[in-house]
């Protein structure tokens, strides 16, 4: 089921005016920030469908920028987020894209800094709830219902086992897991939804495991 909590329906507490176009957009921005794992200095954001048609009226641009700055949905600085970004020399570009998408509220975010960059696609499915459907070219379905760990790794035998062994040692239960690769022996992505937030010390341990390239986490 897409929605699993009453607080998906009664909530979130948010700055208006639209749960899909404002609160949901802020959450997509925040997810991108978390996945980048460091302070972004630039972003290129493609907007599709209803996002592209109505983003100015709904403050979708302000909300995406706010999320990228780490704001929650009820942060009163939301209306000033683009000014705040500019003050921090964080450059954000919005592109109204006419390409067809499966969902009417879709955004593609390419976010980075001097060290790193990521590309993700997020959809805002209603009432402030979002899903991440693509990360760095990998298709995935990240609901945000649970905390998650995203692990970029090399497609080698033992990579998955080395990760799950560490999680088992720390008594962390896996609720949902998927593995996706670009080609045999190339880069691969492991998405693991867990029941509790994972400590940074565990993430460090995972980072040092065999064949692991990069790790990020999403807090639910």
Partner 1 sequence: MFRTVAELVEIAENENITISEVMIRQEMDVKNKSRQEVFDEMEKNLVVMEKAIEDSLKGVESVTGLTGGDAVRIQNYMKEHTPLSGHLVMDAVSKAMGTNEVNAAMGIICATPTAGSAGCVPGTLFAVKERLNPTREEMIRYLFTSGAFGFVVANNAFISGAAGGCQAEVGSAGAMASAAIVEMAGGTPQQCAEAFAITLKNMLGLVCDPVAGLVEVPCVKRNAAGSSLAIVSADMALAGVESRIPCDEVIGAMYRIGKTMPSALRETGEGGLADTPTGRFLKDKIFGMSD
Q: Which of 31, 40, 48, 50 binds partner 1 (CB under 8 A)?
A: 50
Which of 97, 127, 154, 174 touches partner 1 by CB under 8 A?
127
CA angle, residues 148, 121, 189, in degrees to nearest 5: 45
| Residue 7 or 185 having the CB closest to partner 1 | 7
Confirm if 181 and 155 have CB atoms less than 8 A apart. yes
147 interacts with partner 1 by CB under 8 A: no
The DSSP result for 70-132, as a single string, is T--TT-TTGGGHHHHHHHTT-EEEEEE-----SSSEEEEEEEE-SS-EEEEEEEEEETTEEEE
CB of 106 to partner 1, least distance (A): 10
Among 5-13, 133-141, 174-182, 198-206, the segment contacting partner 1 (CB under 8 A): 5-13
Binding test (CB under 8 A) with partner 1, winner from 38, 57, 175, 199: 57
Question: What is the DSSP track for 135-157?
Answer: ETTEEEEE-SSS-EEEEEEES-T
Q: How many residues bind partner 1 (CB under 8 A)?
A: 43
What is the per-residue binding string for partner 1 in 99-118, x denoting contact by CB under 8 A?
Answer: ----xxx-------------
Residue 6 interacts with partner 1 (CB under 8 A): yes or no? yes
- Report in angstroms how near the CB of residue 127 gets to partner 1 at its nearest: 5
Binding mask 68-87 for partner 1 (x = CB under 8 A): ------x-x-xx--------
Q: Name the one range near partner 1 by CB under 8 A: 15-23, 108-116, 157-165, 201-209.
A: 15-23
Contacts 24+ apart (CB under 8 A), 92-95: 92/42, 92/43, 92/44, 92/45, 92/61, 92/64, 92/65, 92/68, 93/42, 93/43, 93/44, 93/45, 94/45, 94/47, 94/55, 94/61, 95/44, 95/45, 95/46, 95/47
Instruction: List interacting residues with partner 1 (CB under 8 A).
Output: 1-23, 49-50, 53-54, 56-59, 74, 76, 78-79, 103-105, 124-128
């Amino acid at each position: 089921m897409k929605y699993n909590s009453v607080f998906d329906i009664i909530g979130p507490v948010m700055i208006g005016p639209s749960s899909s176009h404002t609160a949901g957009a802020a959450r997509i921005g925040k997810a991108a920030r978390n996945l980048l794992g460091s302070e972004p200095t630039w972003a290129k954001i493609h907007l599709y469908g209803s996002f592209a048609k109505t983003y100015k009226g709904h403050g979708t641009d302000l909300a995406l920028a706010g999320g990228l700055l780490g704001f929650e949905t009820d942060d009163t600085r939301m209306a000033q987020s683009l000014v705040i970004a500019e003050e921090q020399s964080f450059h954000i570009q919005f592109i109204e894209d006419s390409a067809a998408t499966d969902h009417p509220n879709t955004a593609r975010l390419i976010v980075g800094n001097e060290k790193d960059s990521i590309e993700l696609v997020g959809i805002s499915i209603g009432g402030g709830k979002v899903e991440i459907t693509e990360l760095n070219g990998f298709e995935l379905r990240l609901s945000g219902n649970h905390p998650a760990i995203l692990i970029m790794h090399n497609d080698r035998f033992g990579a998955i086992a080395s990760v799950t062994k560490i999680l088992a040692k720390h008594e962390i239960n896996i609720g949902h897991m998927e593995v996706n690769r670009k080609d045999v022996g190339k880069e691969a992505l492991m998405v693991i939804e867990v029941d509790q937030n994972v400590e940074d010390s565990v993430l460090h341990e995972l980072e040092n495991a065999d064949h692991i390239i990069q790790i990020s986490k999403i807090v639910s």
